[in-house]
Structure 1
Amino acid sequence: MHVLLTEDNALIASGIVAGLEAQGFTVAHAATAAQADALLRAARFDLMILDLGLPDEDGLHFLHRLRRRGLELPVLILTARDAVAERVSGLQAGADDYLVKPFDLRELAARLHALLRRAAGRATHLIEHGPLTYDPAACAAFMAGEPIDLSRREQALLQALLQHPGRVLSAEQLKDAVYGLGDDVESNALNVHIHHLRRKLGNGIVETVRGLGYRLGVAAAATDPMGDADS
């Protein structure tokens, strides 16, 4: 799950990034509305966490501007403004959820999973695809009820595909989902993770669309369920 965190407090931001990445999220950080706007134009995100007290633009104004532009990704407002009127204003400006500081990282992660589930039209947090079941909150995959050992990168790749069944995702979009925007990625790194995922979940799980990218395919019995876990 690729999350854009817009938060100007460096200490709070670093804690959120570390906490969410430990729970399987891929996080990009912007300290200003301008930086967030640039990232939204450069890459694809599944969710945005938005602080309202940004140094260059009020967060509500920024959100309203994004919604008028047609941006549809779920947005969770994270702020110290706890008055009911402030919450109402945030939701009316286009926010999908509102969490007041201070907060528990477990609650933040649970709310993000709920937003993503709602956006995908699922009634449960489990993602099912044929015999494959993936639990994004627990970072656990099962094939016909049997656990499958996937590395953090493999989980991020699988989740990106599962969230967009039938859609072709470019190599750059998958790299963003797996590594984020700040990592220096080797040219063949994505192919390595695709190879491992195919070995563990069947060759058809990732379909190559020549010249365009990749899309979710058919899950089958794993040929090497344990495999070599990479980081």
Structure 2
Amino acid sequence: MAEMQPSVLVVEDEPAQREVLAYNLESEGFRVIKAADGNEALLLIEEENPDLILLDWMLPGTSGIEICRQIKVKPAFRMTPVIMLSARSEEVDKVRGLEIGADDYIVKPYSVVELLARVKAQLRRTRPASVGERLTYADILLDAESHKVFRGQHELKLGPTEFRLLTTFMEKPGRVWGREQLLDRVWGRDIYVDTRTVDVHIGRLRKALSSQGGDDPIRTVRGAGYALG
């Protein structure tokens, strides 16, 4: 079963740099997708919907700045964190990168430790459970590190799939998730699962959440999917 590893797209045209980044990210538990230029990056963003993008400024063909602009105008990817990597240390370049929508800007040469810290800082905002944060919604507490869920004073018993479903909902309360999106996020893209399986596991999650008498916080949105709250 696919674990909910956060995925990072590395867009870097220098093969050696790309491999060093990939190696360090993978050893921290990230799933890494690699692109050598902007066009490949744009295709992979659509296909893979990464959790974070590390984007080199100087790319062959379309520049990193232009790629960043294209990412940030698409509603589906507007909230995806983009960290620009650049040898340009001028303040004006940094400002331009941030103005175009980059969430952070790291000047080369950079320390790997600092880069990983910045990656985790961005993910803490968008995928908090993936970096071990505790999530709360109403009277529900999910502790990603210890893999425990509490409702009020009671610890709830959840299977691994239900735990991943709840994590997905609690990272984005109110967001409506379609069945296909839940399959991608919870089961992984490489696994074929019938969409009805989602309904079965949502049923189990609802039962677990209400097992101590609390009301069901999961909403069915007709024709669209499910949402928390």
User: What's the TM-score once normalised by structure 2's chain length?
Assistant: 0.66
Partner residue in 2 for 1:88: 95
> Structure 1 residues 93, 109: CA separation in 2 closer, same or farther (over 3 Å shift)?
closer
CA contact (8 A) 1:77 1:90 kept: no
> How large is the Cα RMSD of the aligned pairs?
3.8
Matched, 1:48 2:52: yes
Question: Quick one: which of 213, 220, 223 aligns to 1:211?
Answer: 223
Q: How many residues align?
A: 204
Give the secondary structure class of the aligned counterpart of 2:174.
Answer: coil
Return the alpha-carbon distance in structure 2 between the equivalents of residues 185 and 12 of structure 1: 30
Give the secondary structure class of the aligned counterpart of 1:51.
Answer: strand
Identity of aligned residues (%): 26
> Structure 1 residues 110, 102: CA separation in 2 closer, same or farther (over 3 Å shift)?
same
> Structure 1 residues 190, 54: CA separation in 2 closer, same or farther (over 3 Å shift)?
farther
CA contact (8 A) 2:25 2:32 kept: no
Unaligned runs of 5+ in 2: 13-17
Q: Which has the higher contact order (CA 8 A, sep 6+)?
A: 1
> Structure 1 residues 84, 109: CA separation in 2 closer, same or farther (over 3 Å shift)?
same
Deviation by residue 1:50-98 (Cα, 9 ceiling, x = unmatched): 2215455322221023334565214231536372535333212211123
CA contact (8 A) 2:142 2:150 kept: yes
Aligned residue type for 1:33: G
Partner residue in 2 for 1:168: 176
> Structure 1 residues 7, 20: CA separation in 2 closer, same or farther (over 3 Å shift)?
farther
Matched, 1:158 2:162: no
Question: Quick one: which of 137, 142, 145 aligns to 1:134?
Answer: 142
Unaligned runs of 5+ in 1: 22-26, 119-124, 218-231
Return the alpha-carbon distance in structure 2 between the equivalents of residues 63 and 206 of structure 1: 35
Q: 1:43, CA displacement in angstroms? A: 6.4
Return the alpha-carbon distance in structure 2 between the equivalents of residues 84 and 97 of structure 1: 15
Aligned residue type for 1:168: V
Aligned residue type for 1:103: V
Q: 1:17, CA displacement in angstroms? A: 4.4
Of structures 1 and 2, the larger Rg is shown by: 2
Aligned residue type for 1:157: L
Q: 1:157, CA displacement in angstroms? A: 2.1
Give the secondary structure class of the aligned counterpart of 2:28.
Answer: helix
Partner residue in 1 for 2:193: 186
Aligned residue type for 1:186: V
Partner residue in 1 for 2:15: none
Deviation by residue 1:143-196 (Cα, 9 ceiling, x = unmatched): 225555656654442232224333321111112222443x22322553454344
> Structure 1 residues 58, 162: CA separation in 2 closer, same or farther (over 3 Å shift)?
same
